[in-house]
Amino acid sequence: MLQNEVLQLRCLVTGGAGFIGSHLVDALVSRGDEVTVIDNLSSGRIEYIREHIASGKVKFIQGDLLNREDAAKAVDGMEAVFHLAANPDIRHGTANPDVDLRQGVVATHNLLEAMRQGNVKKIVFASSSVVYGEAKKIPTPEDYGPLMPISLYGAAKLGAEGFITAYCGSYGLQAWIYRFANVVGPRGTHGVIVDFINKLKKNSGELEILGNGKQTKSYLSVEDTVGGMLHGFNHANEQVNIFNLGTNDWINVTRIAEIVVEELGLRDVKFRYTGGDRGWSGDVPRMLLSTEKIGSLGWKPLHRSEDAVRRAVKAVAGELWGGG
């Protein structure tokens, strides 16, 4: 097996102008890697990595993995690919049923084909806890099954995992697959925190909360997410390495709403619930991942769920609210 303690790695980050991707780019640049980013900027923002591009530390390709020529150009000469490009919003995929198929599965297949043809052997993939569906075992370990996602986003992540492991078995690739808890932090562009802040900007007296507010999940800071990805990449060396990344605690949606209201300095905000045990079709009401496997390699998150949420609210409020 190849060794992973590599400095100045020539690496590609797909979706590198996005939320998690741009934070990963920050980390890769800071450790001296040669970084190329491909992003179609459908949800990513060039300003997140503009400084790195201007300094010459990042090469940027505005392209789409659905275009095989773009994929081939992007992987050329790379030693590793960090694959984060995807539809970032579960609810958007539910409303547009082919989005996750194209951006999750087809784009991943195109990337893998480009890697095979270009003899690029290492891929690090951003998967999700939603591949587990409504798991009956909580905390949920990596070997839980059968995997039955209930959202199209989850199906696309599981399909992409399947293609990645198949390419490892068929063509000798090596993979690191990370199943994330809910990731929050600066530059967040979607999710419950962004949703709440945007709603309160329109009406600071009332906040609509999808479902009954009892949906309870683990939240991971984006800094911990990136740290966990790189830690596993550096310390795990099987042909296929699958890890959960999350915290060992959780928080419910009503508590997140309370934190948002507190951090925005608002008073007397009325919470209005839409009802039901989930926020939208395909929402998993309860999620907590077992992180014993990645923990055995010496990694643990620096922030618990509530701390991660509060830090994220402060950051996102500054970006969306204009202070807070």
- For 215, residues 6+ apart whose C-beta sits below 8 A from its C-beta are 252, 253, 277, 278, 279, 283, 285, 286
Question: Can the peptide bond before residue 97 be classed as cis, meaning omega within 30 degrees of 0?
Answer: no
Out of 132, 153, 178, 219, the active site residue is: 153
- Residue 156 three-state SS: helix
Coil, strand or helix: which one is 265? Answer: coil
User: Is 178 annotated as catalytic?
Assistant: no
Q: In what order do the strands lie in the sheet with 34-39?
A: 58-62, 34-39, 10-14, 80-83, 122-128, 174-180, 240-245
Q: Is the peptide bond before 146 cis (omega within 30 degrees of 0)?
A: yes
**278-297 in b/e burial notation, b at 16+ Cβ within 10 A?**
bbeebbbbbbbbbbebbeee
Cβ neighbors of 318 (< 8 A, separation 6 or more) are 324
Please spell the DSSP secondary structure of 42-97, one letter per residue.
SS--GGGTHHHHHHTSEEEEE--TTSHHHHHHHHTT-SEEEE--S---HHHHHHST
Q: Do residues 35 and 61 make contact, with C-beta atoms less than 8 angstroms apart?
A: no
Give CA separation, 198 vs 85, 201, 271, 277, in Å: 25, 5, 15, 23
Q: Which residues of 146-158 are buried (b: 16+ CB within 10 A; e: fewer)?
A: ebebbbbbbbbbb
Instruction: Report the b/e string of 66-81 with b at 16+ CB within 10 A.
Output: eeeebbbebbeebbbb
- Catalytic positions, please? 153
